[in-house]
Structure 1
Amino acid sequence: MNGPEIHVEFAPELQVFVPQARRVGTLRATTDGLSSLGHVVESLGVPLTEVGALVVDGREVPVSHVPAAGESVTVRTVARPQRVPGAPLRFLLDVHLGTLARRLRLLGVDTAYESTDIGDPALAARSAAERRVMLSRDRGLLRRRELWAGAFVYSTRPEEQLRDVLERFQPELLPWTRCTACNGVLRKATKDEVADQLKHGTHAMYDVFAQCTACGRAYWKGAHHEQLEAIVERAMALRSERR
């Protein structure tokens, strides 16, 4: 770009995308005099999925605003809790977020997950077709215009990822109602109905089962139940704190 120069200040939460802003505070950015402020912000490294209000010289403007020379821009982070209008809250996660996907499903949150890399265009198209919020650490994917909605996953640790998503979107939690393998809905099942999936010890020790209505996978309170219960308890406690 080679045109009017503006001054841009990013909210602290957004400085992870613009390391130089962390060092110097307010950036000087040269624009072309034609591009929207939203385009300028993205060109500096910040996906618009993470941007809340854009404030120019004290007044809030839309992302379509074309900045003029000398304007001072403040880029705020998206407000929390974030509301996604027009559809039930559902998520789509890319190939790198498998653990987060399973934990969201454990909590009963409708979570689609691609276990193979199908490419950004296909992910964006699915987000739009199914009206799912795309969760990803891929900034390029989150910049695709065809996304229904999206959000950057800031941490690489599943515990922090889950907390961030729950705080940001505050989805309804219905633990133990979804299949962690395929996202299908669980139903109560008898031992006889799932007997072909049980080893002898399991068959003898457990009497309470659930089964996925989509893939048929059986569930019971096995060896890892305490760990899963702890994840659920932390999530429910967080929800109570936010009310």
Structure 2
Amino acid sequence: MDAGVGPTASFRFYEELNDFLPSARRRRTFSCPIAQAATVKHMIEALGVPHTEVELVLVDGESVGFDHLLADGERVAVYPKFEAFDITPLLRVRERALRETRFVADAHMGGLARLLRLAGFDTLYDNHFDDREIARLCAEEGRIVLTRDRGLLKRREVTHGCYVRALHPPEQLREVVDRLDLTGSMRPFTRCLVCNALLRCASAEEVDSRVPPGVLERHHRFAACDGCGRVYWEGSHWRRMEGMIGSVVPHPARS
């Protein structure tokens, strides 16, 4: 889209939102035509930026919602999440914040989903989930969508989402934790890595028939999953996972 005859608006995208734009439009103000009755959300996504990546929109210096109807000559500034200061009083783009941090990951985010569960976050994942099901879970359960699919983040039902830029699970975990400021919310080893259910403490007598020979002689603390029946103990695999979490996000909170 290039500026031409008819109503136009000028746009400026900030920080990482520029990653979604063609190089000629990054980190600069540009003008483009606006359709009749075009909303802020429609234009932002038409320019390539998923609305879930946007935290604040200013039109001629005033905070507006995604439903703001654009008019000829308006100046639109679009911002991602702010790290340096609290802009809560300015926000207009969403009806409410999420009360709990819960995720749903798309089919390509299985490794990240497992690590988020390891860190204690409620994370739904099934490689058979299609976009419609993921959008439904986001809308009905208040979950943050994790994906590298921009089209999924542009679905109307998706109110909260995170476009994951990193390619490998440990780096993806670091990115999500840093971006959403989750370090203080981490509770490692409180969820089942396989089915996402909460774990509970279990006695040696309870898990006797469910662990390999010799485990009861070497270990005395166990966690059981009532969802899928798995048992966890602080063996070498546990210590490797603990070390991995510590290397990705130093000093997480521990239950």
TM-score normalised over the length of structure 2: 0.81
CA contact (8 A) 1:82 1:168 kept: no
Cα distance change of structure 1 residues 21 and 60 upon mapping to structure 2, 3 Å threshold: farther
Match of 2:131 in 1: 120
CA contact (8 A) 1:15 1:21 kept: no
Q: Give the aligned length.
A: 239
Correspondences of 1:43-192 after superposition (within 5 Å): 43-80=46-83, 85=97, 87-114=99-126, 116-171=127-182, 172-192=185-205
Deviates more, 1:182-191 or 1:9-18: 182-191
Deviates more, 1:205-214 or 1:123-132: 205-214
* Alignment deviations for residues 139-184 of structure 1 (CA, whole Å, 9 cap, x no partner): 1111122235222222212222212222233342221111111111
| Partner SS, residue 193 of structure 2 | coil
RMSD in angstroms over aligned alpha carbons? 2.7
Alpha-carbon separation, structure 2, partners of 1:21 and 1:222: 53
Match of 2:42 in 1: 39
Cα distance change of structure 1 residues 18 and 228 upon mapping to structure 2, 3 Å threshold: same
Q: What's the CA shift for 1:233? A: 2.5
CA contact (8 A) 1:188 1:211 kept: yes
Alpha-carbon separation, structure 2, partners of 1:102 and 1:24: 35
| Partner SS, residue 37 of structure 2 | coil
| Partner SS, residue 43 of structure 2 | helix
Identity of aligned residues (%): 39
CA contact (8 A) 2:187 2:252 kept: no
Long gaps (5+) in structure 2: 89-95
CA contact (8 A) 1:10 1:21 kept: no
| Partner SS, residue 112 of structure 1 | strand
TM-score normalised over the length of structure 1: 0.85
Select 2:211's aligned residue among 190, 198, 205: 198
Alpha-carbon separation, structure 2, partners of 1:216 and 1:147: 33
Deviates more, 1:227-236 or 1:125-134: 227-236
* Alignment deviations for residues 93-117 of structure 1 (CA, whole Å, 9 cap, x no partner): 1111111111111121111112x23
Long gaps (5+) in structure 1: none
| Partner SS, residue 88 of structure 1 | coil
CA contact (8 A) 2:59 2:74 kept: yes
CA contact (8 A) 1:101 1:112 kept: yes
Q: What's the CA shift for 1:223? A: 2.9
Give the partner amino acid of 1:151: C
* Alignment deviations for residues 54-96 of structure 1 (CA, whole Å, 9 cap, x no partner): 2233333332222233333221113348996353221111111
* Alignment deviations for residues 9-48 of structure 1 (CA, whole Å, 9 cap, x no partner): 1112111111234557333321113211211010111011
